[in-house]
Structure 1
Amino acid sequence: MKSTLVNMTAVLFVITLVASACVGVVNMITEEPIALAKEAATKAALTEVLPAFDTTEEQTLTIDELPITVYTATKEGSVTGYAVQTMTKQGFNGVVRLMVGFKPDGEVVNVNVLEQSETPGLGTKMADEGNPLLGSIQGQKLENKKLVDGKLAVTKDGGDVDALTAATISSRAYVDAVNRAWMAYKSVATGVEPTDTASGASNPAAAETNEPEAQEGGQNE
């Protein structure tokens, strides 16, 4: 075959076609296992953050232009709790997703960190058992906390949620996601119309500059 522009174009087209077909096949093979793994992870998270339940009913809300899913858990026909899959984009390294469990009266049962890519040894501690963020809200009704403009806030921003050491930005992100979960819970459980809750840091100046937390332990978070 002569090395002409037409021949080279044809060869490249065939290669691209074959590569695309291979990608499609791989996607078909992996799509179902990925979906099943995601479903299993969600069920595990629900079990960790909810009182005992038989079934759940799923409802999706949009708060701050972010999808928030509320799972209403029931046992023998009675509501035992609400689990909210919430998120924020204000983590030090991007998206943080949480599953927050509430009793019917609003008491926080537990929080499960579903996704985070924070700084190892700093922001990643939000997923540790007994971390100060969880310790500040677990077993409590959030309306009884020290709120700032009606929302939870870390102590540095005037609230009473203890932040992770040297990881204030990650801590603010965690709190931001919990605030969104709280709003979603109230919407489904009590009929309160959901409103935007995003504030980043309660301190507007810090939110605008997204300044590094270098002053805390010499860490850049």
Structure 2
Amino acid sequence: MKKLESSLKNMLLVLTTVTVVAVGLLAYVNELTKEPIALANLKTLNDALRKVVPAFDNDPVSEADTLFSEKDGKKIVDYIIYPAKKDGKQVGTAVESGQIGFSGEIKILVGFDGEDKIYDYSLLSHSETPGLGSKADVWFKKGNKGDITGMNPGKTPLAVNKDQGGQIDAITASTITSRTFLRAVNAAYNAYKGNTDVNTSATGAANTDANTAATAKEEGATESNNN
């Protein structure tokens, strides 16, 4: 009996030691990689900013304005607004916006020029099916089928041509993704113009888009296989 107790104590001691060492190593590795990861993310963001707004000479990241909402007592980032300036004059604005798509959140960076028109955009992240929903990274760019550049969402909110008054070609077999993407662009514009009362933030989108809900029901069988 004493031998058994001694063996158990030794085993517990070994397990505790291994756990402490493992936690220590993980903390060390995390600390070691934290700065390089942050620098890599900053570079990716800066590269995206230079693509989506006219040429600038300021630091939009350091001058960014973050808009929050609150859910269950926690602050949630809805939008980040980056001002682009040249020789002290604002030449454009980029807005980071997210919406809930077919498979998860779609996050984009939309750039507007000095006339409130879409200059360009960058798809920052998504959970859509590779090959279909993921085509949003190029589908809506200049010269492509769903081109949104040069449009002003303030004059006419962007919508797919399957919806009433819609003017944008949806990604083939990915109507839900297309609607979500365009909703994110419209939301970005509203944030850019200071109109954040419109319920277009990522936190409320899943329950407020009747079109997406209807499409999910009507086209669920097709898009679940193709989106």
- Cα pair 1:97 1:113 within 8 Å, conserved: yes
Partner of 1:186: 193
Counterpart of 2:105 in structure 1: which amino acid?
V
Counterpart of 1:80 in structure 2: which amino acid?
V
- Deviations, residues 102-129 of structure 1 (Å, cap 9, x unaligned): 0122100001111123112211111126
Residues 205/167 of structure 1: CA separation in 2 closer, same or farther (3 Å cut):
closer
Partner of 1:45: 48
- Cα pair 1:58 1:72 within 8 Å, conserved: yes
- Residues 1:116 and 2:126 aligned together: yes
Partner of 1:171: 178
- Residues 1:61 and 2:67 aligned together: yes
Partner of 1:11: 14
Counterpart of 2:86 in structure 1: which amino acid?
K
- Cα pair 1:168 1:213 within 8 Å, conserved: no
Matched positions, count: 208
- Cα pair 1:169 1:213 within 8 Å, conserved: no
RMSD over aligned Cα atoms: 2.6
- Cα pair 2:56 2:91 within 8 Å, conserved: yes
Counterpart of 2:188 in structure 1: which amino acid?
A
Counterpart of 2:128 in structure 1: which amino acid?
E
- Cα pair 2:53 2:94 within 8 Å, conserved: yes
- Residues 1:144 and 2:155 aligned together: yes
From 160, 163, 182, give the equivalent of 2:167: 160
Separation of aligned partners in 1, 2:124 and 2:138: 12
Separation of aligned partners in 2, 1:68 and 1:201: 19
Deviation beyond 3 Å, 4+ runs, structure 1: 63-66, 129-133, 192-195, 198-203, 208-216
Identical positions, percent: 38
How far apart are 1:72 and its partner, in Å?
A: 0.8
Question: TM-score, normalized by length of structure 2?
Answer: 0.81
Counterpart of 1:154 in structure 2: which amino acid?
V
- Cα pair 1:98 1:112 within 8 Å, conserved: yes
Separation of aligned partners in 2, 1:156 and 1:106: 25
How far apart are 1:202 and its partner, in Å?
A: 7.9
Separation of aligned partners in 2, 1:206 and 1:113: 20
From 204, 211, 221, give the equivalent of 1:214: 221
Separation of aligned partners in 2, 1:156 and 1:202: 18
Unpaired segments of 5 or more residues in structure 1? Answer: none
Unpaired segments of 5 or more residues in structure 2? Answer: 71-75
